[in-house]
Structure 1
């Protein structure tokens, strides 16, 4: 039996559909059953039997730090896809990020080792890849630099990867994927879905940085192929296109039939913006929207090389513009 953590999340939901469509027996961890509605909607994008597929999942309510619940979840499991994570770039969320991403992953790894799990696939992020020197392409071999002003999210995803590598030293076979911005439908309030929502609401500004993107279809296809392969103890950057933010936003806007952003958000404006956001947070207690590290990422011109996966498992990425169009069409139907 296959275990999927983060079953109600963006990657987890699409992965579950793929596994079920291939008639795999799956168990999934969830925290809040209110999100079941989202999963069923995602299933309905691809199948007329969404409810029937959903009912094939053996659901277990558990937190990544709930040891008794995880003990139950790991019974009769042979393979694990660890998709669960907490995503935030707010500095004051660092403790929760550590608790979920690092300690939670350590628990999953410990259960994999103690239960002789055949293979673990961990969903990390390009945020956990080291920052290349100016002009150099980032690869899986780029070293993590602790001296760089990394975001709290990046720090904890890197820490989670260390837990997976620790597990491999204890006999666990594992693969790690490091996707860029994942494009796909179903969840519109965070991730790439929130970007599409913002563009549809007539976003006015773009930044001069670059963004590495990949389709959700490619991500879950690669995850399954890696688990079925003999590949182990390797990590893979999953990026099919490196685009400027202006190009990415323009492609999305055209797919949504709205005008693309025309004004550049200058660096000085962004620097003022994150400071004002910090001040508002201190005065009102409202959640941070713009952190210094997020601003840095918006103006950073990084290039990620996602070719390794194509060579190792003979995989070919989907046409990203086509996948963006499909995603935007589903967004317009959902709103």
Structure 2
């Protein structure tokens, strides 16, 4: 019996599908949006990470836990919720694992927890979030969440941590990283020449299962198939959709105007801003991730080519719209 938190998200759903395909019985825990999978070996559980009694109940009969649940937001208004869910929630999961005698935990962190603002440096697992290397409360919350996992390891829990780059896949058009596909489909005209890492949701799930099934513990791993410009990714998505590619370059001056306009509009309308200071600065930054550690620990693992990941996701998204 395996427990997956955050099972309704892009990564959680992908992970559950792979676990079921391997013959595991899975408890899929979700908060608001239920998981859209039906299977005889799937048990759906609605629970809140902040409800320690619900977590204890969810752990009953479980031997392994994949902790995918998290809040991803770069809206300053969500700062308190980020620390509540990503730090306190992770602490609760770790404590529940220790109390239930869980065999092993695989925790989903983020490359944001490594500190992404490091000009001229290749980012590795040896790096950590600091105020000078990150403009993101989200990154800080994921770093502090990692510390809860390492505290659990110190108390005897077997655990591994993954730090995925931007996860791509055919998820909800209006949710998380899949919004990238929707913006290109809607022919959003702007692009940046910023660089970051990208990885397929299927690859992240596969790596997590391999880490769970291994003897590896007390280690964390960057998961990134390739470092690429947002411009290239947008153009590849546009080609796969048969849409017009973004053609207007975002400069630092335009970006500064854009996030300030969105902040003002958000205050006036009460809606979440499409852009924030954090997201615009991140989109302009050139960040390069070293993915060699995972490949050295799991030499049989291979990443899916980024272009193939994008085309496959676009085809699946188009099929859902048909």
- Confirm or deny that 1:14 pairs with 2:23: no
Q: 1:291 aligns with which of 265, 270, 276?
A: 276
Task: Look up the match of 2:93.
Answer: 108
| Unpaired segments ≥5 residues, structure 1 | 41-50
Distance in 2, matches of 1:306 and 1:263, equals 31
Deviation at 1:241, TM superposition (A): 0.7
Task: Look up the match of 2:314.
Answer: 328
Count the aligned residue pairs.
320
User: 1:26-48 deviations in whole A, cap 9, x for unaligned?
Assistant: 1121223x533xx23xxxxxxxx
Cα distance, 1:132–1:194 mapped onto 2, change above 3 Å: closer
Distance in 2, matches of 1:25 and 1:169, equals 29
Distance in 2, matches of 1:92 and 1:299, equals 22
User: 1:9-60 deviations in whole A, cap 9, x for unaligned?
Assistant: 111111111111111111121223x533xx23xxxxxxxxxx4x2x421222
Q: Assess if the C-alpha contact under 8 Å between 1:181 and 1:191 holds in 2.
A: no
Q: Assess if the C-alpha contact under 8 Å between 1:181 and 1:192 holds in 2.
A: yes
Distance in 1, matches of 2:133 and 2:125, equals 18
Normalised by the length of structure 2, the TM-score is 0.96
RMSD, aligned α-carbons:
1.3
Cα distance, 1:113–1:237 mapped onto 2, change above 3 Å: same
Deviation at 1:283, TM superposition (A): 2.5
Distance in 2, matches of 1:108 and 1:122, equals 10
Q: Assess if the C-alpha contact under 8 Å between 2:56 and 2:100 holds in 1.
A: no
User: 1:145-191 deviations in whole A, cap 9, x for unaligned?
Assistant: 22345212111111111111111111111110011111111321122
Deviation at 1:243, TM superposition (A): 0.7
Cα distance, 1:334–1:210 mapped onto 2, change above 3 Å: same
SS at match of 1:165: helix
Distance in 1, matches of 2:134 and 2:256, equals 15
Distance in 1, matches of 2:119 and 2:8, equals 38
Normalised by the length of structure 1, the TM-score is 0.92
Task: Look up the match of 1:46.
Answer: none
- Confirm or deny that 1:171 pairs with 2:170: no
User: 1:228-287 deviations in whole A, cap 9, x for unaligned?
Assistant: 001111110001111111111111111111121111011101101111111222233221
Distance in 2, matches of 1:194 and 1:290, equals 12
Deviation at 1:132, TM superposition (A): 5.5
Distance in 2, matches of 1:14 and 1:27, equals 14
